[in-house]
């Protein structure tokens, strides 16, 4: 029987960060992967998505300067942009595996199954370890309606060879808004179908309403309160059928959430407990079996399921397994961004939480559209709602703008470092930039 100090299941951002950290600390480590090495983020998530967004950003910048140097904004050429994206993704899996091999981390291709609390079987081999880390991530959840086999996922979208003339995206989360923004910039007619009136429900309602208005002005068509009943194929097209809508489209995508990858692991054999949201862990990220940890998207947790969160948890478990800490995991404020056109970002205390506790928090909403940073590029929208505690310290922020991904990181830094107006005035920032705006915001 093979024996390792630690066996990691899943080679995404969580599993890889844990593997390298443990190896650097002198542990004998094996990583098992059953699909693409590197995981969702670089193969079929964040990175390819953001490469495709580059085309959207370039088109937006030109479109905003209509009549101010430019007459027309070119549509994104999907085939060329897709070919550019491929240059980022094609080598990811092999490079990720090779990186592990070079670091002398054992790589195993296969789907493991727990056969005891401290043993797994993969391929025909039985492997034991002092500790296991489950980092198997999530995959798209398909709607359970007749004709669901006709639905495509975000992975299919990110690899489309041709962008058709008309698409429908069911859902109203990060993925629906991001894919809709990308397809729209190619000139495709885009429909977003949501089952109630409140997409992006974790974000500030007013900013979400402004976000939708911006996207509608770009031509994206939103259908709210539509419960999809069936997907029907008609020749080469598909029709989404609901009680109140019949919508034909060339392709229909489901972006209605993601489910944890738990199949085949036989968690019960290792006494690991899970539910529909993922694997249950304690504050040390241990499952019900103290020698089996879970990290990243596969964990049932209230924190957003994002790449930097997966990395943070991996580094924490490395500390646990190398005896550097026994303290409970303590997450810093976590920024999240919907990479649409514009972008919607948030960090820390939400506006909903703040509005529910007026004795604790103050809200300050600012329209930044006329600020030099945004006026210079003639941006159509730039808004920020900041949340301060009673000591006037920034504790939360929501931003809707074309630069929200940059600004939210500065605001995250200000929150974590407790930077107030006076301390920001002690810094000299390059002008004119989003950073030099900070003392005027906070
Ligand atoms: C379209 C899209 C866009 C995204 N954009 C962003 C973004 O902009 N920013 C951001 O922070 N996050 C983004 N995310 C989320 C981000 O991709 C995840 O949070 C991140 O990949 C989680 O890392 P992980 O290692 O936990 O899981 P994953 O990256 O999913 O890796 C899990 C790995 O485990 C493997 N695996 C699964 N089951 C088994 C098994 N039984 N045996 C062996 N191996 C197994 C999988 O094949 C996979 O390689 C996006 C996600 C999607 C889908
Ligand atoms: N920029 C980023 O950081 C980023 C980008 C993409 C994905 N992600 C990660 O991937 C996860 C999954 O993204 P997602 O957008 O698929 O899921 P999500 O959970 O963010 O949103 C799903 C949306 O679909 C809606 N929905 C559910 N059932 C529906 C139905 N029958 N009809 C219409 N709408 C329905 C939900 O109400 C919700 O608005 C995110 O939560 C995040 O963890 C992050």
pLDDT, tens digit (0-9, with 9 covering 90-100), for 74-85: 999 999 999 999
2-30 pLDDT tens trace: 999 999 999 999 999 999 999 999 999 99
Count Cβ atoms below 10 Å from residue 230 Cβ, excluding itself.
Answer: 14
318-351 pLDDT tens trace: 999 999 999 999 999 999 999 999 999 999 999 9
Closest ligand 1 atom to Cα of 50:
8
Let me know: does 44 contact 179? Beta carbons within 8 Å: no
Q: Which ligand is nearest to the CA of 48?
A: 1
SS3 content of the chain, % helix, strand, coil (to 5): 35, 25, 40
Report the C-alpha gap between 238 and 193 in whole angstroms. Answer: 14
What pTM did the predictor assign? Answer: 0.97
Residue 420 has what DSSP assignment?
-
Let me know: does 32 contact 100? Beta carbons within 8 Å: no
pLDDT of residue 142: 87
For residues 392-398, give the mean pLDDT.
Answer: 97
The complex scores an ipTM of: 0.98
pLDDT of residue 148: 97
Q: What percent of the chain has pLDDT over 90?
A: 99
The structure tokens listed for 441 are 């915001």
H/E run at residue 234:
strand 228-234
Report the C-alpha gap between 171 and 179 in whole angstroms. Answer: 11
pLDDT of residue 49: 98
Count Cβ atoms below 10 Å from residue 289 Cβ, excluding itself.
Answer: 18
Q: Which ligand is nearest to the CA of 120?
A: 1
- Residues having CB closer than 6 A to ligand 2 are 143, 170-176, 178, 193-195, 199, 228, 255-258, 304-306, 336-339
Helix axes 434-441, 404-416, angle to 10 degrees: 50
- Residues having CB closer than 6 A to ligand 1 are 9-15, 32-36, 39-41, 45-46, 49, 111-112, 135-138, 154, 175, 261, 264-265, 296-297, 305-308, 310, 339
For residues 273-280, give the mean pLDDT.
Answer: 97
For residues 60-71, give the mean pLDDT.
Answer: 97
Q: How far is CA 419 from the centre of its chain?
A: 27
Nearest CA among 21, 14, 356 for reference residue 5: 21
Let me know: does 341 contact 58? Beta carbons within 8 Å: no
Instruction: State whether residue 259 is helix, strand or coil.
Output: strand
pLDDT of residue 311: 98
24-47 pLDDT tens trace: 999 999 999 999 999 999 999 999
Mean pLDDT of the chain: 97
């Amino acid at each position: 029987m093979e024996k390792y100090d630690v066996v990691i299941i899943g080679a995404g951002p969580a599993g890889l960060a844990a593997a390298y950290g443990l190896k650097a600390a002198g542990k004998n480590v094996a990583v098992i992967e059953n699909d693409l090495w590197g995981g969702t983020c670089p193969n079929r998530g964040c990175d390819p998505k953001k490469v495709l967004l580059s085309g959207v950003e370039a088109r937006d910048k030109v479109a905003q300067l209509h009549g101010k140097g430019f007459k027309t904004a070119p549509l994104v050429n999907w085939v060329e942009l897709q070919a550019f994206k491929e240059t980022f993704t094609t080598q990811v899996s092999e490079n990720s595996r090779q990186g592990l091999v070079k670091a002398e981390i054992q790589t195993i291709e296969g789907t493991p199954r727990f056969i005891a609390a401290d043993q797994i079987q993969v391929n025909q081999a039985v492997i034991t370890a002092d500790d296991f880390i489950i980092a198997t991530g999530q995959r798209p959840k398909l709607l359970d309606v007749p004709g669901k086999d006709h639905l495509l996922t975000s992975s299919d979208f990110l690899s489309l060879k041709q962008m058709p003339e008309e698409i429908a995206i069911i859902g109203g989360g990060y993925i629906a808004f991001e894919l809709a923004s990308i397809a729209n910039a190619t000139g495709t007619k885009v429909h977003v179908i949501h089952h109630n009136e409140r997409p992006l429900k974790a974000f500030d309602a007013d900013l979400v309403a402004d976000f939708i208005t911006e996207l509608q002005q770009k031509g994206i068509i939103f259908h709210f309160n539509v419960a999809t009943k069936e997907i029907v194929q008609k020749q080469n097209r598909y029709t989404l059928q609901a009680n109140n809508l019949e919508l034909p489209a060339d392709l229909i995508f489901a972006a209605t959430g993601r489910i944890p990858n738990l199949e085949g692991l036989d968690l019960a054999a290792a006494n690991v407990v899970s539910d529909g949201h993922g694997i249950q862990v304690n504050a040390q990220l241990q499952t019900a079996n103290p020698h089996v940890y879970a990290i990243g998207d596969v964990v049932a947790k209230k924190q957003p399921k994002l790449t930097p969160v997966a990395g943070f948890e991996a580094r924490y478990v490395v500390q646990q397994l190398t005896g550097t800490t026994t303290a409970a995991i303590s997450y810093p404020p976590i920024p999240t961004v919907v990479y649409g056109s514009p972008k919607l970002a948030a960090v820390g205390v939400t506006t909903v939480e703040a509005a529910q506790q007026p004795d604790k928090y103050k809200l300050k909403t600012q329209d930044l559209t006329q600020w030099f940073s945004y006026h210079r590029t003639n941006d159509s929208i730039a808004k920020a709602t900041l949340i301060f505690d009673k000591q006037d310290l920034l504790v939360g922020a929501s931003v809707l703008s074309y630069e929200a991904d940059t600004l939210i990181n500065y605001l995250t830094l200000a929150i974590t470092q407790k930077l107030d107006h006076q301390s920001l005035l002690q810094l000299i920032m390059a002008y004119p930039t989003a950073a030099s705006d900070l003392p005027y915001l906070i």
